Structure 1
Amino acid sequence: MSQRVSRRGLFGLGAAGAAVVGAGVVASNTLFEEPPVAHASSTSDPFPFYGEHQSGIVTPAQDRLHFVAFDVTTKKRAELIELLQEWTAAAARLTQGKEAGSYGAVGGAPEAAPDDTGEALGLPASGLTLTIGFGASLFDDRFGLADKRPAALADLPKFPGEQLIPEISGGDICVQACAHDPQVAVHAIRNLARIGFGKVSVRWSQLGFGRTSSTSRSQATPRNLMGFKDGTNNLKLEDAALLRDQLWASAQDGSDWMAGGSYMVTRKIRMGIETWDRTSLVEQEQIFGRDKGEGAPLGKKAEFDPVDFASKGADGQPYIKDDAHVRLAHPTSNGNAHLLRRGYNFVDGSDGLGRLDAGLFFIAYQRDPRKQFVPIQMNLAKHDALNEYIKHVSSGLFACPPGVRDAGDYWGRTLFG
């Protein structure tokens, strides 16, 4: 039987969240297996917050997203560190289904503002994860971090065809909130922004629904707004060797403080939905290089059949064209580079001309964007037939530090310590 545990009902859990909640879910502060394979037994239950790596990366992807990028407004290093400590304490509570502060939404002095906004009262944890990242702009001369900027946090190049909007790109700090309940994700970001008042300001944010990637083999492959299964060959949390090689940063990479962390790239990709919807099925399938129904590579029958780029049809032509998305994005076309994708669909209303402002909010984690995202995206930007139907309007690159080890640790301690 599914147990719905209220946020106030979990108040008694310690800050480390080391308690059994629901059917067999242990929230531990010593989750150091490789890879971390924490699964919530239901969409109501919590994931562990403490661990070697941040949650929300290889965690089985949840259904909803609220992503935010902040600009740091304080000029005092000590105030920024204090904020990160406060955020970490709140995140540890929120991810376990508790309220943001010890007094909650209604437990404090009536004449004072509550230390939780209250819109998630009575809701379970809903698999909430909170993942923080630091943008290149944080490593300027404000906080003495210039010499700690990782080489892998190099500015992304300008890709052909992109139409980036500066106001919805970049940022000093990002937080990715993923959950199975949109109100839980929004509540978490709202409270972090409230706690950060006077020290940070929201630069831009994005809501997402309908995950467009699977990060565990226990999950079915979802579909993007073009109707195709997305992320069939994504890195999975079960791929221990690939994760060590392709996902997690190492001290050997040149930045000791990033060991156990990962680099996040975000891209808001608007789709020409109306044009796509008038395109023939055969052309749609040729553009992706996959069957729309099953998700099988063209020339094959099942989604996970190996892609065969040499296979030809009765007409002697390759089933998968040279400009097909699956060919250009495949590791064999990019020096064996892999990405762990955690993207989401978005619909942000209409553009005033009767067209949906909709598409994919792309999120990908990797060990080194210079060797992974950059060559893959450059290949796609130059040659992908899909470019006729999409445009990139937002971009972000963030260094996501290692996980929070215990209640005495905090987000970014390895950077600021």
Structure 2
Amino acid sequence: MADQSHPKARTPGAASGESPGASPADGVCEQAPSAGGLSRRRLLSTAGATGLVLGAAGAATGYAARPAEAAPLSSVGAGQVMFHGKHQPGITQGLQARGHLIAFDLAAGAGRREAAALLRRWSQTARRLMAGEAAAHDDTDVARDAGPSSLTLTFGFGHSFFSRTGLEKQRPVSLDPLPDFSSDQLDRTRSDGDLWVQIGADDALVAFHALRAVQKDAGAAARVRWQMNGFNRTPGATAHPMTARNLMGQRDGTRNPKPSEADFDQRIFVPASGSADPAWMANGSYAVVRRIRMLLDDWEKLSVTAQENVIGRRKADGAPLSGGTEATAMDLEKTDAEGSLVVPVNAHARITRPDQNGGAAMLRRPFSYHDGIDSDGVPDAGLLFVCWQADPLRGFVPVQRKLDRGDALSQYIRHEASGLFAVPGGAAEGEYVGQRLLEG
């Protein structure tokens, strides 16, 4: 849970925080109805569709017609992200309202040929669904009535994929397994995997539709190893764009690197040349995935002041305890009247600052999750932490090692699952994701 913010969402209209504009629907009169009423054309259209003819009083109570002010398609639904490009989608886009993370293992007997065919199917499906089209085969119609809703699908390879496909010589050194951390309590059945898919959208049904399509496309070539489902605030739900809050109520991600920064690509993406990584990883990135349980019952017993001391930032507005606004640089040396550091030495935001970690930076793009109540009666809820970097040994690992040695937040969280995946660059027109690896 590093102290870094996400780039602004690119969803048209929603990024500004304005209410989506309405547009006329089929069978709806363009003339505005009177306040609290319905146009005659809409009323007649609705009555015909339901087989009922209601009087004005019946219509006013909402028995047969939806409210006149309802928009047939909002700007949230209309948002579209391109599948083809220099980088895969789902990395630099803003946080999405709904997400699914899913790992697959290749089936027994499946190898490089089957993997190539699977990535070809997945890429075709991703391109179609992200454009708001139906899947090529056996579409479930779950998202028939929705727009693309800024859907993204992102594909990556785990460490074990390369031995399963005979491609060990093409496995990047940066994909070596993460070291063990003292805070880890990992469930190995919900960690790692041969293949990894990240799905995100601003509509839950659109995201689920993509999830089912990916699962069906896997066919006999791969089986699900684990799946995790998450959510964020819906774009446009706040009056203006702002850093998201996590389930602890904290603004989460204030100091994320931003695409506008000169060294952003250097920190997040593998360069096209001059890298120790194999050529097929050009313009790609590495995703660290961690399922982090938040011990909410314990956290919520703390006073707001105590919570702020754990994080190092004000809960209300995300500003550092040393003063200013959320964007103000934290003054690590500032003391109070008694001479104590205003930002405690073990505060999470202090420990995770890039300038306190040799410049280590990662682009955090998480989802919250809530999987109900455990058998011991506590919430199974927290963060599906996803971070992106050009080199995890210089990004995630040094920061996590430092957190391991004395983060005040550590007693309120538990790392329960983990994975590291090599995510190749985007597919060019006519290509599928991973083609340069699988056919190189």
Match of 1:352 among 375, 380, 383: 375
Separation in 2, partners of 1:78, 1:283:
56
Q: Decide which structure has the larger Cα Rg and report it.
A: 2
- Of 222-231 and 40-49, more deviation after overlay is shown by 40-49
Match of 1:56 among 84, 90, 115: 90
Instruction: String of CA shifts for 1:198-234, please: whole Å, max 9, x gaps.
Output: 0011111111111699xxxx94101011111000111
2:266 maps to 1:245: yes
Listed as ranges, the gaps of 5+ residues in structure 2 are 1-20, 27-73
Residue 60 of structure 2 corresponds to none
> TM-score normalised to the size of structure 2?
0.80
Contact 2:98/2:203 (CA < 8 Å) preserved in 1? yes
Residue 72 of structure 1 corresponds to 106
Residue 65 of structure 2 corresponds to none
Question: Tell me, what secondary structure is at the counterpart of 2:120?
Answer: helix
2:194 maps to 1:172: yes
Question: Tell me, what secondary structure is at the counterpart of 1:326?
Answer: helix
Listed as ranges, the gaps of 5+ residues in structure 1 are 7-39, 104-114
Residue 112 of structure 1 corresponds to none
The residue correspondences of 1:137-152 to structure 2 (distance < 5 A) are: 137-140=160-163, 142-152=164-174
Shift of residue 378, structure 1, vs aligned partner: 0.8
Residue 53 of structure 2 corresponds to none
> Counterpart of 1:259 in structure 2: which amino acid?
A
Instruction: String of CA shifts for 1:315-362, please: whole Å, max 9, x gaps.
Output: 111111111000111001110111100011110001022211001110
Shift of residue 396, structure 1, vs aligned partner: 0.6
Contact 2:100/2:228 (CA < 8 Å) preserved in 1? yes
2:236 maps to 1:201: no
The residue correspondences of 1:19-30 to structure 2 (distance < 5 A) are: none
Contact 2:96/2:234 (CA < 8 Å) preserved in 1? no
Separation in 2, partners of 1:209, 1:237:
23
Residue 176 of structure 2 corresponds to 154
Separation in 1, partners of 2:234, 2:258:
14
Separation in 2, partners of 1:143, 1:124:
37
Question: Tell me, what secondary structure is at the counterpart of 1:252?
Answer: coil
Match of 2:125 among 90, 115, 121: 90
Identity of counterpart residues, as a percentage? 41
Separation in 1, partners of 2:351, 2:22:
43
Contact 2:259/2:265 (CA < 8 Å) preserved in 1? no
Residue 47 of structure 2 corresponds to none
- Of 84-93 and 251-260, more deviation after overlay is shown by 251-260
Q: 1:145 to 1:219 in 2, by over 3 A?
A: farther
Separation in 1, partners of 2:257, 2:98:
20
Match of 2:79 among 45, 65, 69: 45
Shift of residue 298, structure 1, vs aligned partner: 0.4
Shift of residue 238, structure 1, vs aligned partner: 2.4
The residue correspondences of 1:1-400 to structure 2 (distance < 5 A) are: 1=21, 42-73=76-107, 74-101=109-136, 115-140=138-163, 142-210=164-232, 219-239=241-261, 241-250=262-271, 251-254=273-276, 255-400=278-423
Contact 1:349/1:356 (CA < 8 Å) preserved in 2? yes
Question: Tell me, what secondary structure is at the counterpart of 2:124?
Answer: helix
Shift of residue 5, structure 1, vs aligned partner: 11
Question: Tell me, what secondary structure is at the counterpart of 1:133?
Answer: strand
Residue 409 of structure 1 corresponds to 431
Instruction: String of CA shifts for 1:140-170, please: whole Å, max 9, x gaps.
Output: 1x32210001011111000012100011100
Number of residue pairs aligned between Structure 1 and Structure 2? 365
Instruction: String of CA shifts for 1:166-207, please: whole Å, max 9, x gaps.
Output: 111001111101100111111101111101110011111111
> Counterpart of 2:139 in structure 1: which amino acid?
D
> TM-score normalised to the size of structure 1?
0.84
- Which contiguous aligned blocks of 4+ residues in structure 1 show a shift greater than 6 angstroms? 3-6
Contact 2:101/2:229 (CA < 8 Å) preserved in 1? yes
Separation in 2, partners of 1:5, 1:343:
36
Instruction: String of CA shifts for 1:62-93, please: whole Å, max 9, x gaps.
Output: 11111111111142321211111111111100
Shift of residue 282, structure 1, vs aligned partner: 1.4
Separation in 2, partners of 1:42, 1:182:
12
Contact 1:285/1:292 (CA < 8 Å) preserved in 2? yes
Instruction: String of CA shifts for 1:112-161, please: whole Å, max 9, x gaps.
Output: xxx21221111111100001110001011x32210001011111000012
Q: Root-mean-square deviation (CA), in Å?
A: 2.0
Question: Tell me, what secondary structure is at the counterpart of 1:130?
Answer: strand
Q: 1:258 to 1:80 in 2, by over 3 A?
A: same
